Amino acid sequence: MCEECGCANRKILHVNKAVLAANDAMAGLNRKRIEAMGAVAINLMSSPGSGKTTLLEKTIDLVGDSLKIGVIEGDIETDRDAARIRARGIPAVQLTTGGACHLDAPLVHRGLYELEVQTPCGLDIIFIENVGNLVCPASFSLGEHKRVVLLSVPEGSDKPAKYPRAFMGSQVFVITKTDLMPYFDFSLAEAEKEALRLNPRLNILCLSSVNGDGMDGWIDYLNKLVNSPARTRARVVA
């Protein structure tokens, strides 16, 4: 490695750009496929254990009869999250990365194909649960329409400032496990202020999948998204 001019760094940068460009091209194809299925897709990103799958389970319990939901689960290993979703009668495809800390568009392309086979009548919403990680998923577009970043109360309210990219690139910020607020030193004001400083247009929701507080706001957001004119247009064109 050349210390003086940093040429090795430039090579790495070049490769990274090529990888991201190839990913973006496939993400564009994914978007077309999702819209051909009549659906909107939401990419869920957060640290491990912040409550992504539990939120999906609760969402299915509340609107699984009125909305056609499909789920793509991303994990490094195991199909446990997909099994949790299937146990509620909802089609779910498990993608395992075998070590990679994020999903990418080519992997999701395969997942979409499998989901399409399982749901010939189309879907309203496809949830893509990314690998538990607040860093790498932010760099890879999957073809989703919306990005939702989750942060749970036990993780601490300083996290938006420390992991800015996930918050900068998302449309919705969901603060989860609010039932644990009395037991943790979590400042809602700090989390909201830092997240809005990074991304003034963020839609912030607070909820608990355990006691149901705030779930109405989340469900309202999903219903509005499904009924949005842009999505209706996509369905007509598809």
Ligand X SMILES: Nc1nc2c(ncn2[C@@H]2O[C@H](COP(=O)(O)OP(=O)(O)OP(=O)(O)O)[C@@H](O)[C@H]2O)c(=O)[nH]1
Residues that bind ligand X (CB under 6 A): 46, 48-54, 81, 132, 176-177, 179-180, 208-210
Q: Return the one option of Mg ion, ligand X, none that residue 48 interacts with (CB less than 5 to 8 A, by type).
A: ligand X
Find the shortest distance in angstroms from Cβ 58 to ligand X. Answer: 8
| Terminal Cα distance for the chain, rounded | 50
d(CA 78, CA 61): 24
Kindly tell me which of 175 and 234 has the beta carbon lying closer to ligand X. Answer: 175
DSSP string, 112-131: HHHHHHH-TT--SEEEEE--
Residue 199 sits in the site that holds Mg ion (CB under 5 A): no
Total Cβ atoms within 10 A of residue 7: 10
Instruction: Say whether residue 84 binds Mg ion (CB under 5 A).
Output: no
Is residue 78 left, alpha or beta, with left meaning phi > 0 and alpha meaning psi from -120 to 50? Answer: left
Residue nearest to Mg ion (CB): 53
Q: How far is the CB of 187 from ligand X (least distance, A)?
A: 18
Window 43 to 62, contacts with Mg ion (CB under 5 A): 52-53
* 152 sits near Mg ion (criterion: CB under 5 A): no
Q: How far is the CB of 227 from Mg ion (least distance, A)?
A: 27
**66 φ/ψ angles, rounded to the nearest 5 degrees:** -95, -25
Q: How far is the CB of 32 from ligand X (least distance, A)?
A: 28
For the stretch 184-203, what's the b/e string if a residue is b when 16 or more beta carbons lie within 10 angstroms of its beta carbon? eebeeeebbebbeebbeebe
Q: Report the amino acid identity of residue 174.
A: V
CA proximity to 140, closest of 161, 115, 109: 109
The entry of ligand X, Mg ion, none that residue 111 binds, CB within 5 to 8 Å by partner kind: none
Point out which span in 6-14, 22-30, 64-72, 79-87 binds Mg ion (CB under 5 A). 79-87
CB closer to ligand X out of 28 and 48 = 48
Q: Which of 189, 89, 74, 184 is nearest to 127 (CA)?
A: 74
31 vs 140, which CB is nearer to ligand X? 140
Strand boundaries in the chain, DSSP class E: 40-45, 69-75, 92-96, 125-129, 146-152, 172-176, 203-206
Contact of residue 179 among ligand X, Mg ion, none (CB under 5-8 Å per partner type): ligand X
180 interacts with, out of Mg ion, ligand X, none, CB within 5 to 8 A per kind: ligand X
Q: Which is nearer to ligand X, 62 or 238 (CB)?
A: 62
Residue 137 binding: pick among Mg ion, ligand X, none (C-beta 5-8 Å cut-off by kind): none
Position closest to ligand X via CB: 132
The binding site for Mg ion (CB under 5 A) comprises 52-53, 81
